[in-house]
Copies of this chain bind each other. A is one copy, B any other.
Amino acid sequence: MSVLQEISPNVKQMRQLEYALLVRQAIRIREDLKQGMRKPYKDVIEVCWGDPQGTGMKPLSFVRQVLAACLYPQLVNSDKLPVDVRQRAQRLRQECCGGSVGSYTATRGIPEIVHRVSEFITRRDGGAPSHPENIYISPGSQWALTNMLKILVNSESSTRTGVLTPVPCHCTTTLSIEGLGAVVVPYYLSEKQGWELQVEELHRALESAKGLCNPVALYVINPGNPSGQVQSRKSMQEVIRFVLEKKLFLLADEVYQDCVYGENCEFLSYKRVLAEMGPPLSDSVELASFHSVSKGYMGECGLRGGYVELVNLDPTVMEHIYTMFSKDSCAPVLGQMALDLMTNPPQPGDPSYPLYDVEKRHIRNTLVCNLKKARAVLNSLPGFCCQPVEGGLFVFPRLHLPPKAIQKAKEVGMEPDTFYCSMLLEEAGVFVSPGCEYGQKEGTLHIRIVLTTPQDVMEELLKRLTSFHTQFMKDFS
């Protein structure tokens, strides 16, 4: 007997990830190395997850000091910690129920933190007003996105709900959509134009959904993951006009907003661009904008903190959203506090500022150097072509494989890029993720490499990749 034989069709609909195969392979290789088995490498360089600290980035000392003092208040009296750290910890702790990070918080998050996050948004967006009651702190942005999708997906309608989603796109979002029984309506970013979002393509995608599903929302991620593209104001304005015209809800994933490297490139939030377009647009487009402590310079994925800001939503809908979020208790308190520290970092003159500034610059510098080296090496290798990367934490080069390699992949029952990644992992101990996990235009192949390693690790990685790739192309030519 199995009660669960008839499990929810929504859950069944979720793809099993190809990652799983590579993850098992990596575990096996590590075990082999531990047992002393000889390989052409000493360790596995894992650059497949968007996990800055997991790939070697150091946390910001200020953040860790404040959070440690919040957890164990005796540290507030320690003269080993800078005075602004101790004051900050003292204040944050007092904002918790019972003065403890071990208590639940209000549904939206600790009210004082929510308030300061809204002030940060207003500053960031050149004064466009932000209201605390429109903000929900959550255990990561992806979690808030899933909650918003739950609101948008009508599971009782005979026509499935559709969500326009970029290709390529990181797979947690597409899994969430599928897991709710909704349909991913793909729109393709234009690789040749540096993965630009083109509004004609949105029209085509929407048209393609006719008769198949009822599209209610457009999901954008800016700066892009894995594409690394940063949208211009003009492009965003076009998107805003499009969603208004087509009556779509706009889901703006902006978790890489601190990571912009491109010359003449600037991160603009959808909230800001919308506000600056003025009425009637600024009063009518329904928007949810997401941010997180997991990416950027903090890279605190393990703390689980993010937020969503909602714009122009109907008050009755806002009530349902409150109920929705309240059922999951609250976001982890330390994640909430990390969000406060991210949006209100030390300022010049604060005792912690000099170290904070040095550490932040070091992280930025590492990212910029890794990106430069990675693109240079990739573009020098036959078969690779890497578009300019303006932001984010990844390179996502196109990979042209010889027909023999594609044939071989077919024989072993793998996607061609998964086959390439599997070989790279086995022979060079480099664990990158295959393009098929993100979606890609029919007939194209890619890999994604995470840039958040220390510089020496990135050099070693590129060395191993170069020699593996050269041999691979020779073997399959």
Contact = CB atoms under 8 A, between A and B. Distances in A.
Q: Which 9 A-B pairs have the closest CB atoms?
A: A54-B103, A302-B333, A54-B97, A68-B72, A53-B102, A53-B100, A68-B68, A332-B332, A3-B249
Interface residues of A, number: 94
Interface of A: 1-12, 14-17, 46, 49, 51-57, 59, 64-65, 67-69, 71-72, 74-75, 78, 80, 96-98, 100-105, 139-140, 142-143, 146, 150-156, 172, 175-176, 179, 181, 216-217, 247-249, 284, 286, 298-304, 313-314, 317, 319-320, 323-324, 326-335
Given A11-B150, A97-B51, A334-B303, A4 B313 contact: yes
A146 B59 contact: no
Contact of A329 (B11, B56, B68, B140): B140
A8 B150 contact: yes
Nearest to A147: B11
Nearest to A70: B68
A179 B324 contact: yes
A143 B217 CA distance: 26
Nearest to A102: B53
A64 B71 contact: yes
Nearest to A74: B80
A59 to B, nearest CB: 5
A220 to B, nearest CB: 15
Given A314-B4, A328-B142, A303 B102 contact: yes
A176 B331 CA distance: 17
A249 B303 contact: no
A155 B8 contact: yes
A56 B98 contact: yes
